[in-house]
Amino acid sequence: MLFKQQALLRQKLFLLGSLAIGSLLYLVARVGSLDRLQPICPIESRLGPPHLPEQIPLRTLQYKRGLLHEIRKGNATKEQIRMHNLVQQLPRAIIIGVRKGGTRALLEMLNLHPAVVKASQEIHFFDNEQNYARGIDWYREKMPFSFLHQITIEKSPAYFITEEVPERIFKMNSSIKLLIIVREPTTRAVSDYTQVLEGKERKNKTYHKFEKLAIDGNTCDVNTKYKAVRTSIYTKHLERWLKYFPVEHFHIVDGDRLITDPLPELQLVERFLNLPSRISRYNLYFNATRGFYCLRFNNVFNKCLAGSKGRIHPEVDPSVVAKLRKFFHPFNQKFYQITGRTFNWP
């Protein structure tokens, strides 16, 4: 009897001991993990359910190449617009940047979705004082006609870096969805430079070399006054936006992957916008001559982006590239931490 009681006691003690050791191990692991960088909001946890109920009428794609096209050309009558219940809606999502990140490609590719309608031009409503003074009705009138269930999207990359813009967009719609497409910061800066260089050459003007602009001649440090460098410090700009919008309102698109393999990036955006997945491999085909993916709407209509996209970048001194990459590194780390999206940028 005594032996049995002792065995029972030993069993209980063993159980209690295991429990205590287990809790201790859990605590140690938890404290250890707190030291590591934790994404504030991991991207997967922010995305909605991948499969949403079908709500998109079939006629919309047909409409995009039909009536919408006619409206753009000025051929549709007011009666036709009224008959189809078409309206000009304020954007429910905006591609706010980043310049040379692939903003045009992203907008055009999203426009393949039957529930998305793009504003073709960059409107520059929130960053341009004159336009902003024209008021919200002016902005709405710049929007394309659409069905009520469709989402209007516009892109103006200057929004991302212009100080006044976050507050202005917040005042228009505090629950708007914001898309930011980024590329490896040094490559983006060179692309930015290439665009300006081309503009100068078109006007027969000379321009400095990239190296001269990006590096301060006196200190030999990175020249943070140079706009192409400043724009690539993504975290600095994003932090200003976060004063108005919570991180869940942003979706970060990998602009480098949009070039090489666009579909997965577009599917992530579809989920972020709570849209059923409609863009498929059929809608995107690689054009070897252009060196980019082009868009296929249907059997008869397809298009590639204009030649102003995909310019050949000038060769940049490797030591300058290395300096810039080292400079951007800590900002990139912070950007990954805030957004919950990590890139393999050097």
Binding mask 154-173 for ligand A3P (x = CB under 6 A): ---x----------------
- Residue closest to ligand A3P when measured from CB atoms: 191
Q: Give least dist CB 195 to ligand A3P, A.
A: 7
Binding mask 220-259 for ligand A3P (x = CB under 6 A): --------------------------------------xx
Check residue 310 for interaction with ligand A3P (CB under 6 A). Answer: yes
User: Residue 141: in which H helix or E strand, if any?
Assistant: helix 136-141
CB distance 276 to 56 below 8 Å: yes
Catalytic residue among 4, 12, 73, 100: 100
For residue 292, what are the β-bridge partners?
Answer: 287
Q: Give least dist CB 101 to ligand A3P, A.
A: 5
216-238 burial string, b = 16+ CB within 10 Å, else e? eeeeeebbeebebbebbbbbebb
Check residue 193 for interaction with ligand A3P (CB under 6 A). Answer: no
CB distance 94 to 178 below 8 Å: yes
Sign of CA pseudo-dihedral 73, 157, 115, 176: negative
Cis-peptide into 98, omega within 30 deg:
yes
Q: Pick from 210, 250, 293, 336: which binds ligand A3P (CB under 6 A)? A: 293
C-beta closer to ligand A3P: residue 157 or 185: 157
Check residue 311 for interaction with ligand A3P (CB under 6 A). Answer: yes
Tell whether residue 313 is among the known ligand binding residues. yes
Q: Give least dist CB 292 to ligand A3P, A.
A: 3
Strands 292-296 and 284-287 come out as antiparallel
Residue 100 is classified by DSSP as T
Q: Which two tokens stand for residue 26?
A: 């859990």
> Does residue 100 carry a catalytic annotation?
yes
Task: Name the region of 61 (left: φ>0; alpha: ψ -120 to 50; beta: rest).
Answer: alpha
Check residue 292 for interaction with ligand A3P (CB under 6 A). Answer: yes
Contact positions with ligand A3P (CB under 6 A) in 73-112: 99-105
Feature table: binding site: 100-104, 183, 191, 293, 309-313
The residues annotated with a catalytic role in the active site are 100
- Residues lying near ligand A3P in the complex (CB under 6 A) are found at 99-105, 157, 191, 258-259, 292-293, 305, 309-311
